[in-house]
Amino acid sequence: MKRNSTLPLRFTEVCLRDGNHVMAHQFTEKQVNDAVKALDEAGMHYIEVSHGDGLGGSTIQYGKSLVDEMKLIETAAASCKQARIAVLLIPGIGTVNELKEARKLGASLVRVATHVTEADVSRQHIHMARELGMEVMGFLMMAHSAPVEKLVEQAKLMESYGAQGVYVTDSAGALLPHEVKERIAALRNSLNIEVGFHAHNNLSLAVANTLVAVEEGATRIDGSVRCLGAGAGNTQTEVLLAVLDRMGMDMGIDIYKMMDLAEDVIGPMLPSSQEIKKGSLALGYAGVYSSFLLHAERAGLRFGLDPRDILIELGKRNAVGGQEDLIIEVAAELAKQSKLEV
């Protein structure tokens, strides 16, 4: 592969953050300690640890954490010898107060995440992260749902606030390879900072899309061991690393150790196999935020509906991350409509 960048590739493992959605936010200190130690020993660059919806996400609406995320961040930082601990922050869910506390406990990278059209709400948090001496990246979620020109406009805002990089975030796992290519290329040609890519595997394109992103110049990439992430999971870390190695790209991460921890450490944690089932496929097909799946399945049981119908309707309404309360509203409306039709 001929990369369109001379900067080194840096990898962020997200199974302890994005995977929190699958775990219903029930990670224990031991699970985090064991996973972080194994990832650190394998040579992982960054390990993201926080509630699935980022700092401050432990609420009734998003899901209560079994263990306070600050304790998990502290545990993770204490378990690392070389990897750096990252956190996610969604303005409106997390605040600068949680950011300051996470920093004190050892987090050194924050990804400030907003909907792809709402980068203006990230200014305060990006400024604070820089003041705290943290590495800070913008994270434009649901990147499939806006024109490329809008994506570039919003990325430039994050750059102007002090972000050191901006991610194209395929939150729904809905982007096709040519769409990834045009988005990464557009940011590379428009920004003076790094470009990253975060994929979900709902259409079975996560590895392919990540390779396209790397080829177009992305220098920050994400993955989740055993696909432990929302929906059908993220780019499977150990698989992507093996593919990159086959292509002559040494990430400095021990592939055998990654295979072992995927099998022996993460595998036993999985509540069920991470594969593309009808629910996660519907996410990618409808272009809906991946963390909505469990909420839609619960609403389907409550209202006697097919969760796919709920997800398709959410896609039609352009629902965005943070609108989990809309899922119940949509389900109630669909159930009422169904009764009227009968």
Distance of alpha carbon 296 from alpha carbon 240, whole angstroms: 29
Q: What is the DSSP string of 164-203?
A: SEEEEE-TTS---HHHHHHHHHHHHHH-SSEEEEE-B-TT
51 in a known ligand binding site: no
Any known ligand binding at 200?
Answer: yes
Rounded CA-CA distance 152/59 in Å is 33
Q: How far apart are the first and last CA of the chain?
A: 57
Our answer to whether residue 127 is catalytic in this structure is no
Query: Which segments of 17-123 are extended strands (E)?
Result: 46-48, 84-89, 107-115
What CA–CA distance (Å, rounded) separates 101 from 67?
16
Q: Which residues contact 53 (CB under 8 A, 6 or more apart)?
A: 62, 63, 88, 90, 93, 291, 321, 322
Rounded Cα distance, 116 and 47, in Å:
24
103 annotated to a ligand binding site: no
Catalytic residue among 21, 25, 125, 295: 21
Q: What burial class does residue 56 get, using C-beta atoms within 10 Å of its C-beta: 0-12 exposed, 13-18 middle, 19+ buried?
A: buried
Residue 198 annotated as binding? yes
Please say whether the beta carbons of 280 and 231 come within 8 A. yes
Provide DSSP, 258-291.
HHHHIIIIIGGG-SS-----HHHHHHHHHT--TT
182: exposed, middle or buried (C-beta count within 10 Å: 0-12, 13-18, 19+)? Answer: middle
- Angstrom CA distances, 255 to 197, 274, 281, 290, stand at 21, 20, 29, 27
Angle, CA of 295, 299 and 301, to the nearest 5°: 120
d(CA 20, CA 224): 11
Residues assigned a catalytic role: 21
Write out the binding residues for Mn(2+).
Answer: 18, 198, 200
Write out the binding residues for substrate.
Answer: 17-18, 171, 198, 289
